[in-house]
Amino acid sequence: MADDLQLYVDIKNLPVPIALLDVQLNILEHSHRFYDFFDFIHQDKRPDTLEGLIGTLPKSIASLKKSKGFVDQNIKEFVSYISRKGELRWHKLKLYPNKANKQYYAYFDDITKDKIAFDLSQQAAQTAIIGSWEVDLVNHKIFWSEMTRKIHEVQEDFEPDLETGINFYKEGEHREKIIQVVSEAIENGTPYDVELIIITAKGSEKWVRAIGNAEMVNGKASRIFGVFQDIDKSKRERIKYQELDNRMRVALESVKVGIWDFDIENNKLVWDENMYKLYQVKKDDFSGDFEAWEKTVHPDDKEKSLIELQEAIDGTKNFNTEFRVKTQEGTIKHIHGFGKVFRDKNGKAVRMIGANTDISRIKKADNRLRELLTTTEKQNKSLLNFAHIVSHNLRSNSSNLSMLTGMLLDDTCPEKRERFLEMIKISSERLDDTVVQLNEVIKIQSDPNVNLQWVNVKVGLTEVLESINAHLEEIDPNIDIQIGDNLRVHGVKPYISSIFLNLLTNSLKYRKPNIKLKIVIKAHEEEGYTTISFKDNGRGIDMERHGHKLFGMYKTFHGNKDAKGVGLFISKNQMDAMNAEIEVLSKADQGATFLLRFPNHKKTTA
Amino acid sequence: MKVREVFLVDDDFIFREAAEVLITSSGLTEKVLHFENGLEVYNKLVELSEAPEHLPEIMLLDINMPVMNGWELLEELRMEKSVIRDYVQIHILTSSIAPEDLNLSKEYEFIDGYITKPLTRADLKKLSQSVVAEE
């Protein structure tokens, strides 16, 4: 009795859900927590049987009840029921016999959470297609889990052994590999984790991941076990991706695209192989920070590139630019850079990934195209001038000839016959002169790569002055030459002589009638140019009125009957052909200054 | 229809001389006055505009000339008293076959014709007919 009383008291105050049942499984006593455990609050609705509490009884407990007598047996069961709150609950129920009173203690434990976790892992194994296996090397027993069988596509009653298991692996490298790793596991206990192809019982190829471990007893493997995963889908995708990646690599290499990845926060710059080739930097020489890149950028492009990079990081502009780099060998490469900025959730730039393309060749072609375009534009302009000449001087003389011959044939004015013939002679001579001049122009324009050489200015000038000395004696101008004996310009000697001659005869022709002609010829050098100037005190040119057409064909400005206007046009063409410039500063009645500007770019090679 | 006088403005003396023979022999006029450039004829026209009956009925005007070319003269005339423009029929007579020149001539509404050299009898016939038409 004392025992019972003690038990009775204990049950009531035990902090666990526990009840005392009779052989018919009616609830006799219970702990305070018992009904709370089942969510019963009101006393009247509490069921007083085990069945009423959890519904259908598990088999073992149902047979206990059926036997109608006391059974001295520990029973452990998992029970599930829908709680009063509508949830599925899992409980572990333990029945302990109380021999003395022929009663049972029923103890419940809530395992719902564990059950869910277990289910999930089951599900996970199902989803991930993971099976397990085990080989007992002592008893030569082999075990495959259901999933392992499924992966091999064998019947449920299939009985594998170590050899058949290995024979599933595809002949060749795959089978050789599994034999090697399993042997090593058995001999040395080396674990393995390999990805190989098996041929299933149904004949399909499948990528699997086989992980194995050995249990060693006295230095000998007693058991090997492991897991087995169907990775066919992911592996094939990975292989496909790898192929794609390889293809991309080939593509990137062929177009000389390098990929870079810059960790802004840690100042870590990672380059792919192509970048090293592009920048001609050895991998070992690259320090892997921003400054390493900055060092390679051409000094003239550095500031611009840094600004553009900062703008990209600030988010005000995309990084899409061109810059030059100077390689260690000293070659200059044109790079097109494109980059994308990645930001954290606060918008802070943390990383930048981009591509660099070598566009040197494109750039070169582009520049060549530009040069061609400029040349073409120049030539077009000349052609327009050419058209003007054709229309004016050629046509005016040929139309004269046509009119005069027409009148001769019609006998329009017999008494003027001799005069007409004379006029025809003059017109044909003029036509001839014009053709000679045109030939001159075409010669200059059709030879874009004239042979430039260093020409001594003073020597050239002296020669020209000598060639017109008869004319000079007659007019007797004051010519002041302020040019050093050694001054040279890069040009074509006959052109330079022709220009000098033209400018000098212009000064002689358009001198003021009552003032002694004074010509000053000077030279000075600045910023890569040598400028030769011819200044006179002649009649000058009204620049406002004539400036724009000064160097055009057949423009004359002095009312001089001899002026044919072709001289300056030819001079201008000759200067163009030498990459030099001609300019005039003048006012009507105040003399003229012609400036000849020659570039000095090849002075060092002279 | 015969006119009293024609002004011939051209810097090429060969052309002037040949054209004068052609004009007089065509019967358009017996009096052809020569001018070497725009400025010379401008001064003469301004002088004659005081007595318009002495202005020529026709002026043949070259474009490409030194000192003052044809366009420059036309610009000056545009600014002048309308009597010159009203009284004188102005015909461009040029060796230019450039369309720009022909287009430019259309900007002067007081120009009566545009002849491309060489000057022919047919041109002169048309000229004399246009004078009839105007009168």
Q: Is A290 exposed, middle or buried (0-12, 13-18, 19+ CB in 10 A)?
A: middle
Q: Per residue in A39-54, pLDDT tens?
A: 887 766 788 888 888 8
Q: Exposed/middle/buried for A569, CB within 10 Å: 0-12, 13-18, 19+?
A: buried
The residue of A391, A397, A421 whose CB has the most chain B CBs within 10 angstroms, and thus the best one to mutate to test that interface, is: A391
d(CA B32, CA B58): 10
**Cβ separation of B19 and A403 shorter than 8 Å?**
yes
Interface check for B80 against chain A (CB to CB < 8 A): the answer is: no
Which pLDDT value is given to residue A606? Answer: 34
Q: Are strands B58-61 and B89-94 parallel, antiparallel or unpaired?
A: parallel
Residue A384, beta-bridge partner list = none
Q: Does residue A387 sit at the B interface (CB-CB below 8 Å)? A: yes
The one-letter amino acid at A238: R
Is residue A390's pLDDT more than 90?
no
Over the stretch A165-198, which tens digit does the pLDDT of each residue have?
888 999 989 999 999 998 888 888 888 999 999 9
pLDDT at A605: 35
Burial of A76 (0-12, 13-18, 19+ CB in 10 A): exposed
Interface-testing mutation among A396, A421, A429, with chain B (most B C-beta atoms within 10 A): A396
| Of A333, A174, A327, A331, residue with least CA distance to A256 | A333
How far is it, in rounded angstroms, from Cα B50 to Cα B48?
Answer: 5
pLDDT value at residue A386 = 64
Q: Does A509 contact B at CB distance below 8 Å?
A: no
Residue of A nearest to B13 (CA): A423
| Cβ neighbours for A461, distance < 8 A, ≥ 6 positions apart | A481, A483, A500, A521
Confidence (pLDDT) at A517:
92
| Type and span of the H or E element at A233 | helix A232-254
Q: Considering only CB atoms, which chain A residues are within 8 Å of B96? A: 388, 391-392, 395
DSSP structural state of residue A42: S
Contact yes or no for A403 and B118 at CB 8 A: yes
Residue A559 is nearest to which of B14, B17, B67, comparing CB atoms? B67
Tokens of A562: 């001899």
pLDDT of res. A558: 44
Query: Tokens in use for B86?
Result: 């009203």
B129 three-state secondary structure: helix
> Which of A28-37, A189-198, A285-294, A393-402 is modeled with the greatest confidence?
A189-198
Cis previous bond, B118, omega within 30 = yes
Q: What order of strands is seen across the sheet that includes strand A130-136?
A: A141-144, A130-136, A220-230, A205-217, A192-199
- Quote the CA–CA distance of B114 and A527 in Å, as a whole number: 52
What is the maximal distance between C-alpha atoms in chain A?
176
Distance from CA of B53 to the nearest CA of A (A): 30
Q: What per-residue confidence (pLDDT) applies to B48? A: 93
- Give A265-333 as a DSSP string: TTTEEEE-HHHHHHHT--GGG---SHHHHHHHB-HHHHHHHHHHHHHHHHTSS-EEEEEEEE-TT--EE
On the 0-12 / 13-18 / 19+ scale of CB atoms within 10 A, A397 is buried
pLDDT at residue A5, as a whole number:
45
The pLDDT assigned to A6 comes to 46
Which pLDDT value is given to residue A546?
A: 67
CB atoms B119 and A403 under 8 Å: yes
A403 CB neighbours in chain B (<8 A) are: 15, 18-19, 22, 117-120
> With pLDDT > 70 as the criterion, what percentage of chain A qualifies?
88
ipTM, two decimals, is 0.89
Structure tokens that stand for A297 in this block: 């950028």
Residues of A in contact with B43 (CB under 8 A): none
* Contacting residues of A for B36, CB less than 8 Å apart: 561
| Cβ pair A556:B66 closer than 8 A | yes
pLDDT above 70: residue A125? no
Asked whether the beta carbons of residue A407 and residue B97 sit closer than 8 angstroms, the reply is: no
Per-residue pLDDT of A260-316, as tens digits, reads 989 888 888 889 888 888 888 888 888 888 888 888 888 889 999 999 989 998 988
Q: Do B18 and A420 touch (CB under 8 A)?
A: yes
Q: CB–CB of A399 and B119 under 8 A?
A: yes
pLDDT at position A603 over 60: no
Tens-digit pLDDT string for chain B (135 aa): 789 999 999 988 999 999 999 999 999 999 999 999 899 999 999 999 999 899 999 999 998 887 788 988 999 999 888 889 999 999 999 988 878 888 889 889 999 999 999 999 999 999 988 876 655
Mean pLDDT for the stretch of residues A78-89: 75
Residues of chain A contacting residue B19, judged by C-beta atoms under 8 Å apart? 403
pLDDT at residue A454 tops 50: yes
A578, A495 in Cβ contact below 8 A? Answer: yes
A214: number of Cβ within 10 Å: 23
pLDDT at A364 (0 to 100): 85
Q: Cβ distance A138 to A222 under 8 Å? A: yes
pLDDT given for residue A567 in this prediction: 76
Mean residue pLDDT of chain A comes to: 83
Q: Is B13 on the interface with A (CB under 8 A)?
A: no
Contact A559 B66 (CB under 8 A): yes
| A397: enclosing H helix or E strand | helix A395-410
A412 contacts B95? CB cut-off 8 A: no
CA distances from A469 to A458, A462, A476, A484, A537 (A): 16, 10, 10, 22, 20
Interface subset of A 542-571, CB within 8 angstroms of B: 554, 556-561, 563, 565
pLDDT at A2 over 60: no
- Determine, for residues B66 and A561 on separate chains, whether the beta-carbon distance falls below 8 Å: yes
- A588 band by pLDDT with thresholds 50, 70 and 90: confident
Instruction: State the pLDDT at residue A447.
Output: 65
Q: What pLDDT score does B24 carry?
A: 94
Binned at pLDDT 50, 70 and 90, residue A531 comes out as very high
Please give the C-alpha separations between residue A521 and each of A59, A211, A423, in angstroms, as whole numbers: 128, 96, 42
Nearest CA in chain A to B16: A400
CB < 8 Å to B117, chain A? 395-396, 399, 403
- Does the structure show a pLDDT above 60 at A564? no
Q: Which of A416, A561, A565 lies at the smallest CB-CB distance from B21?
A: A416
3-state secondary structure A217-229: ECCEEEEEEEEEE
Q: Do B18 and A558 make contact, defined as CB atoms within 8 angstroms?
A: no
Q: What pLDDT, on the 0 to 100 scale, is given for residue A267?
A: 87
The pLDDT of A543-568, averaged and rounded, is: 59
In this prediction, residues A501-522 reach a mean pLDDT of 90
Q: What's the rounded Cα separation, in Å, for the pair B101 and B74?
A: 13
Interval A341-350 mean pLDDT:
88
* The residue to which tokens 């060796």 are assigned: B95
Structure tokens at A165: 């298991």
Q: Return the exposure string of A116-142: e unless at least 16 CB atoms fall within 10 Å of the residue's CB, then b.
A: eeeeeeeeebeeebbbbbebebeeeeb
- Name the residue among A105, A19, A122, A107 with its Cα closest to residue A70: A105
pLDDT at position A383 is 67
Range scoring the smallest mean pLDDT among A121-130, A506-515, A518-527: A121-130
Whether residue A448 is predicted with pLDDT greater than 70 in this model: the reply is no
Q: How confident is the model at residue A373 (pLDDT cuts 50, 70, 90)?
A: confident
CA distance A450 to A446: 9
Most confident among A211-220, A368-377, A514-523 (mean pLDDT): A514-523
In this complex, the residue of A391, A399, A413 whose CB is nearest that of residue B98 is: A391
Q: What pLDDT does residue A604 have? A: 37
Which residues in chain B have Cβ-Cβ distances shorter than 8 Å to A392? Answer: 64, 95-96
